[in-house]
């Protein structure tokens, strides 16, 4: 996020797009609700009637996968009615002309058809957004989990820059991260193209720096494969040794059948985890790891805040901290790593060789942590990004074209399936499924459908139905709810039985390889 | 006299216009006990424990809801205040079944503290024979109405802090009760409760407690360890209450960024997976017949190393790949990418940032 959670409660205008915050990030949502009680205005754009809509002055229920059209059209109105922040765009941004040319192709009348809403709704939304300064934009996976995910993100950024809302308190572009340490895993260089702190591997200076830091030669220059490509390559036999740390790929990746086929093909699969999972079944070696609260360390939250995680008690049996396991493997291959605790790893390596985190040391993390960038030990951390100037100089406005999801409904599969998380569980339930009480609150997967679609098929609320896509079929309980507009089916991936990923489409954003979890075509029907 | 001062216990004291007597007093270190007052929400004045003597006022005033005015003369600790406060606490003590020994809140109860501070040594008034029955149908929170002092903090927290609007003060007079929509269990169909547990967090007595914490440790037996929630990317700050190597319960850290004393259902109640019998406790190696056999760390790690070495020698560094974990600590992800880059010489390292 460019901004901080503390802004949520103070914001005057909030635009939430593609985020069911009350279930996925409940505490963040409480601050949005507080802001509304204190007089802030809230606009929600979401295909579903999410609980936050109760607090919104406007709900735009656009179609799944039409975000770019909606956002471009909002910008059309802002530019044609001169409601954008001209001074800001002139002095701080580049690419306005190109952006303008593109968004002018999206008059509300045209976009309205793509989005399944009225042109007036787009006009009004644009005017409302422009009427309060600054406005804060938040999004989640509803924006990113599409084949056009990167374009969706760029559109959000375009909109906020056009309004002059980036680089100020209570403004910005704010993706709330789904997992506790996705931000951190990225920051730490668990990505194929960068060392930690986003230092690119294809830059020779960076490689030289890390060759010295790690006392090695010939660090690889070519960016590696992204996760979906790895899984494919494992299936094709190009990757022979596959090491999975903590992820339950067999349930979380789209098209479970295909993923399992790939995992089965690995010549040697290592799984390092705290529980046996559907994925560890395919392993040749399983390494037992210490869990959260069984060792010291840090997480980095969505607001770039590095927070301490502390030890409450030792790990069970022979389970070991993950960092120790990696260090032992390195040692057996002739590499002696000197750091011998999470604290030493952070202070002596991560801070030492990551300029944006150089000022973050364990000694400074006792209370509320620190938000990077934090370049030196006197730096208080950064509450919001891009103040006065963008990190890269000028804020780049990037024209983007709307593209439909890879698979759209047709006669055979007439409904759109969209997926996500529910309140009482987390991902594949390896943790929540084993925490007392949470299973009692939600025991099984459900398919949320509209009353219209249920009636048309004679489906009663609560009956078991079949949901089928080109990739598979699941049998789940129908949950008829007014959260869902006609034409949409919504499911989660918490349970193995009825997991939406038997159905989802393994197609990916070409740039970042995020899967299109949010849109594929399905049919539903009564059990025969 | 300066416009923005008042007289507090005989001393000229500065205040900021708009402050309540309670806030102005706390500002200069004068403590006034409170029960129903909940920072950040509208004062209800329900408990009257915070009464003070304001010169010229006919009755004692609730300091949590009375704004200071310039020149106001306030006494917080005279005979009249202390006597009235004691009486109020005595009445509260007899309003329900406050038998501390068997109460989950023993040692963590504002009413117990107040009774002690007021030097109460016996129960003056008879306690009621009947109370509403305890609600413990829901899986996570015990609602013991016999210990509820109707302070309204839970209602304030639910409606004004986390804004889930699941409970209200229902019925009237002696029938008063905190109720969900439909006045059933928290988990009933028509209840809006989302089990964030904020009501438990703010309940000053033993009326709302965590079911899973029962018998797991008294407040004076547990170590409180600050940590960060392992679920979503908000990064809420938690206090783990730990006894004998086990988390007894989880509460929120007051006043901490980003969560300001709040948690959600997963952060508050999703911790005991740690103690599941299914935890992996020893390295496992797959045998010819497909079954896993237990192994030592040396066996398992030697096997990993020999296999990866063999694959890299035969097929090159591009033939290995690794997926790191977006749930685990930074230091683990750092080590894993270092292992792949520095040792395996491969940039085939990623994690599921994309789900
Ligand atoms: S658990 Fe949360 S939602 Fe439920 S009554 Fe308590 S405060 Fe309200
Ligand atoms: S349940 Fe607790 S917080 Fe709620 S009114 Fe009763 S005593 Fe007060
Ligand atoms: S308590 Fe809830 S909102 Fe806070 S970090 Fe944990 S899962 Fe997220
Ligand atoms: S604390 Fe003031 S009336 Fe209860």
The answer, for B338 touching chain A at a CB cutoff of 8 Å, is yes
Q: How many domains does chain A have?
A: 4
Residue A438 to residue B342, Cβ atoms within 8 A: no
pTM above 0.90, yes or no: yes
Distance set, CA B264 to CA A142, A390, B268 (Å): 21, 35, 6
Q: What stretches in chain A show pLDDT beneath 70?
A: none
Which fold, B5-77? Answer: Ubiquitin-like (UB roll) (3.10.20)
Domain co-membership, A50 together with A168: yes
Indicate which CATH number applies to the domain containing A26: 3.40.228.10
Q: Which residues contact B59 (CB under 8 A, 6 or more apart)?
A: none
DSSP 8-state class, residue B160: I
- pLDDT on residue A207: 97
Q: Which residues of A touch B194 (CB under 8 A)?
A: 22, 26, 423
- pLDDT on residue A287: 98
Q: How far is residue B43 CA from its own chain's centroid? A: 20
Percentages helix, strand, coil for chain B (3-state, rounded to 5) are 30, 20, 50
Which fold, B219-279? Answer: N-terminal domain of TfIIb (2.20.25)
Domain interval for residue A505: 415-526
Domain co-membership, A146 together with A198: no
Domain co-membership, A296 together with A255: no
| CA atoms of A99 and A76, how far apart (whole Å) | 10
CA A497 to ligand 3 center in whole angstroms: 26
A341-358 pLDDT, tens digit each = 999 999 999 999 999 999
A147-178 pLDDT, tens digit each = 888 899 999 999 999 999 999 999 999 999 88
| CA atoms of A277 and B174, how far apart (whole Å) | 54
A436-483 pLDDT, tens digit each = 888 888 888 899 999 999 999 999 999 999 999 999 999 999 999 999
Residue whose entry in the numeric block shows the structure tokens 């809230």: A42
Domain co-membership, A156 together with A253: no
Residue B281 to residue A288, Cβ atoms within 8 A: yes
Indicate which CATH number applies to the domain containing A195: 3.40.50.740
Q: Does the residue A236 lie in any domain?
A: yes
Q: Whose CA is nearest to atom 3 of ligand 2?
A: B203
And the tokens for A12?
């005057």
- pLDDT on residue A515: 84
Which ligand is located closest to the Cα atom of residue A424?
A: 3
Q: What stretches in chain B show pLDDT beneath 70?
A: 1-3, 353-355
Domain co-membership, A31 together with A55: yes
Within 13 Å, how many C-alpha atoms sit on residue A415's CB side?
Answer: 29
B145-182 pLDDT, tens digit each = 999 999 999 999 999 999 999 999 988 888 889 999 88
Coil/strand/helix, residue B263: coil
Q: Are A496 and A126 in contact (CB under 8 A)?
A: no
DSSP 8-state class, residue A298: E
Q: Are A477 and A444 in contact (CB under 8 A)?
A: yes
Largest pairwise CA distance in chain B: 93
State the burial class of residue B136 (Cβ atoms within 10 Å of its Cβ: 0-12, 13-18, 19+). Answer: middle
Same fold flag, B5-77 and B219-279: no
Which of A288, A321, A341 marks a domain boundary? A288
Domain co-membership, A151 together with A250: no
Q: Beta A415-420 vs A488-492: how paired, if at all? A: parallel
| CA atoms of A369 and A359, how far apart (whole Å) | 12
What is the four-CA torsion angle of A372, A373, A377, A380, rounded to 10 degrees?
-70
- pLDDT on residue B106: 95
- pLDDT on residue B234: 96
Q: Testing the interface with A: which of B202, B266, B326, B345 to mutate, by most A Cβ within 10 A? A: B326
Q: Which residue in A37, A224, A320 is closest to B349 by CB distance?
A: A224
Site to substitute for ligand 2 among B108, B147, B154, B186, most atoms within 8 A of C-beta: B154
Q: Where are the domains of chain B?
A: 5-77, 219-279, 284-354
CA B224 to ligand 3 center in whole angstroms: 19
Q: Which residue in B231, B269, B302 is closest to A437 by CB distance?
A: B269
And the tokens for B70?
């310039």
């Amino acid at each position: 996020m460019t901004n901080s959670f503390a802004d949520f409660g103070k914001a005057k205008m909030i635009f939430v797009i593609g985020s069911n915050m009350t279930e996925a990030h409940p505490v963040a949502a409480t601050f949005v609700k507080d802001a509304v009680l204190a007089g802030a205005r809230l606009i929600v754009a979401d295909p579903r009637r999410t609980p936050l809509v109760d607090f919104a002055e406007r709900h735009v229920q656009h179609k799944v996968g039409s975000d770019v059209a909606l956002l471009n059209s909002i910008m059309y109105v802002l530019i044609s009615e001169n409601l954008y922040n001209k001074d800001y765009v002139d002095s701080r941004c580049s690419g306005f002309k190109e952006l303008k040319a593109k968004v002018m192709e999206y008059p509300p009348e045209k976009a309205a058809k793509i989005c399944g809403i009225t042109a007036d709704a787009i006009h009004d939304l644009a005017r409302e957004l422009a009427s309060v300064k600054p406005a804060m934009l938040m999004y989640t996976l509803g924006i990113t989990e599409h084949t056009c995910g990167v374009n969706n993100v760029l559109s959000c950024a375009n909109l906020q820059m056009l309004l002059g809302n980036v680089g100020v308190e209570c403004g910005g572009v704010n993706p709330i991260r789904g997992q506790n340490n996705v931000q951190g895993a990225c920051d730490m260089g668990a990505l194929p193209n960068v060392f930690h702190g986003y230092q690119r591997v294809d830059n020779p200076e960076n490689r030289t720096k890390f060759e010295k830091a790690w006392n090695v030669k010939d660090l690889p220059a070519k960016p590696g494969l992204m996760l979906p490509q790895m899984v494919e390559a494992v299936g094709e036999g190009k990757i022979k040794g596959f090491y999975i740390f903590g992820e339950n790929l067999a349930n979380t990746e789209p098209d479970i059948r295909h993923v399992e086929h790939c995992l089965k093909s690995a010549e040697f699969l290592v799984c390092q985890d705290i529980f046996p999972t559907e994925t560890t079944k395919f392993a040749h070696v399983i390494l037992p790891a210490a869990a959260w609260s069984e060792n010291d360390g840090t997480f980095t939250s969505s607001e770039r805040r590095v927070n301490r995680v502390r030890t409450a008690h030792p790990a069970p049996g022979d389970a070991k901290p993950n960092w120790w396991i990696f260090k032992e493997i390195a040692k057996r291959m002739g590499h002696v790593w000197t750091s011998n605790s999470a604290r030493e790893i952070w202070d002596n390596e991560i801070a030492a060789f990551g300029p944006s985190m150089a000022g973050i040391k364990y000694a400074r993390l006792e209370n509320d942590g620190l938000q990077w960038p934090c370049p030196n030990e006197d730096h208080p951390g950064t509450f919001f990004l891009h103040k006065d100037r963008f990190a890269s100089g000028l804020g780049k406005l990037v024209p983007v074209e709307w593209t439909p999801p890879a698979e759209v409904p047709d006669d055979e599969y007439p409904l759109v399936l969209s997926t996500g998380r529910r309140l009482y569980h987390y991902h594949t339930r390896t943790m929540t499924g084993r925490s007392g009480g949470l299973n009692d609150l939600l025991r099984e997967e459900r398919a949320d459908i509209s009353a219209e679609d249920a009636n048309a098929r004679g489906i009663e609320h609560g009956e078991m139905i079949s949901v089928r896509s080109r990739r598979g079929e699941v049998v789940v309980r129908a949950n008829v709810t007014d959260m869902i507009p006609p034409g949409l089916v919504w499911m989660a991936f918490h349970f193995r039985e009825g997991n939406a990923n038997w159905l989802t489409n393994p197609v990916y954003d070409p740039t970042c390889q995020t899967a299109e979890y949010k849109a594929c075509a399905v049919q539903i029907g009564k059990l025969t | 006299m300066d416009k923005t001062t008042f007289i507090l216990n005989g001393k000229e004291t500065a205040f900021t216009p708009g402050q309540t007597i309670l806030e102005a007093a706390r500002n200069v270190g004068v403590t006034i006990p409170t029960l129903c007052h909940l920072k950040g929400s509208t004062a209800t004045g329900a408990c009257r424990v915070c009464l003070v003597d304001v010169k010229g006022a006919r009755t004692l005033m609730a300091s949590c809801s009375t704004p200071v005015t310039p020149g106001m003369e306030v006494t917080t600790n005279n005979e009249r205040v202390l006597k009235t406060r004691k009486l109020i606490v005595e009445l509260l003590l007899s309003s329900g079944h406050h038998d501390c020994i068997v109460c989950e809140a023993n040692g963590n109860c504002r009413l117990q503290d107040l009774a002690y501070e007021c030097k109460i040594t016996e129960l003056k008034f008879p306690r009621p024979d009947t109370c509403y029955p305890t609600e413990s149908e829901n899986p996570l929170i015990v609602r013991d109405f016999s210990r509820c002092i109707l302070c309204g903090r839970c209602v304030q927290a639910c409606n004004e802090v986390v804004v889930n609007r699941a409970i209200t003060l229902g019925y009237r007079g002696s029938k008063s009760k905190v109720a969900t929509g439909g006045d059933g269990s928290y988990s009933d169909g028509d209840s809006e409760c989302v089990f964030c547990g904020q009501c438990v967090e703010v309940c000053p007595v033993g009326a709302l407690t965590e079911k899973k914490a029962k018998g797991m440790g008294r407040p004076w037996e547990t170590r409180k360890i600050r940590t960060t929630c392992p679920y979503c990317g908000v990064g809420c700050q938690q206090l783990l209450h730990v006894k004998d190597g086990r988390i007894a319960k989880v509460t929120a850290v007051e006043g901490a960024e980003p969560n300001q004393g709040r948690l959600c259902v997963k952060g508050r109640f999703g911790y005991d997976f740690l103690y599941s019998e299914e935890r992996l406790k020893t390295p496992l190696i797959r045998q010819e017949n497909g079954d896993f056999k237990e192994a030592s760390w040396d066996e398992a790690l030697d096997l990993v190393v020999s296999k990866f070495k063999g694959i890299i020698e035969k097929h090159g560094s591009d033939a290995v790949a690794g997926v790191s974990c977006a749930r685990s600590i930074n230091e683990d992800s750092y080590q894993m990418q270092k292992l792949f880059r520095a040792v395996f010489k491969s940039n085939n390292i990623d994690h599921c940032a994309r789900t």
